[in-house]
Amino acid sequence: MQRMPEKGTATSGLRERKKQATRAALREAAVRLAAEHGAENVTVEAISEAAGVSPRTFFNYFDSRDDAFVMADAESGARVRRGVLEAPAGVSPLEALRDALAAELAEIEQRHEVWSLHARVLSASPHLLARSLAAHLADELGLAEALAERTGSGSRPCSPSAADRAPCASGDERRRAEPGLYPRLLAAVGGAAVRVAVEYWCPRQDRLAFTDVFRQVFEHLAAGLPAPPEEPEEPERR
């Protein structure tokens, strides 16, 4: 007999999906308006109206107008980190990262136009570009912390010189505060893999599936990035 989901769990999941949809609608409205009129000419009221919500609802999701132009958000980052931490024990850190990112990018083929417009908006607005980069760097650090927790490579023993400067924290606190070299590098590589896959796929989307390009990027990484004997063939859309 199939077990039905508990009512509270189902309700919570539906509520979360609605919140994600509203946040995405507000971001898309902000980006489209900014691409058409310039970010400096876009107001919270205009964004809210375009998304079909009230300005009061807007501030339930963002602290300021400029926050709506930052595509990275805490909820997305939290989902990726959770995916990394909850991956099966036998899965390598690189595979766990790949699968967590792929789940978050599942709808990219439907939303690529917004991503392209977002890049145009950022290139025309240096202060928004700086804000977006800061958000992505913070998200990358959080991902490195999750990878450090998964691999156990984020903590390091206190040396006498370090102990003289500051008290030693517990293992978990050290891991969260200072991810090791490997999780930092892997988190940065994950971000670069997403960017390269998107940039490569966008002009070829009529003949390539994004999932195939993304998978090939991680196959190169898993192989250690050996130089190919010749230019590899583009993966065919499945």
* Structural domains in the chain, sorted by start: 8-67 (1.10.10.60), 70-195 (no CATH)
Given this model, what pLDDT does residue 177 score? 47
Given this model, what pLDDT does residue 17 score? 83
Which are the contacts of 147, defined by CB distance < 8 A and separation ≥ 6?
84, 93, 97, 179, 182, 183, 186, 187
3-state secondary structure (DSSP) of residue 201: helix
Contact 46, 52 (CB under 8 A): no
Cα end-to-end distance, the chain, whole Å = 35
Q: In which residue ranges of the chain is pLDDT below 50?
A: 1-4, 156-177
Given this model, what pLDDT does residue 1 score? 42
Look at the block and give the residue holding tokens 């417009």: 117
Report residue 117 as tokens. Answer: 């417009």
Given this model, what pLDDT does residue 232 score? 57
Q: pTM for this one?
A: 0.74
What are the pLDDT digits (tens) for 15-34?
888 888 899 899 999 999 99
The CA angle 199-205-208, to the nearest 5 degrees, is: 100
Given this model, what pLDDT does residue 228 score? 77
Given this model, what pLDDT does residue 107 score? 77
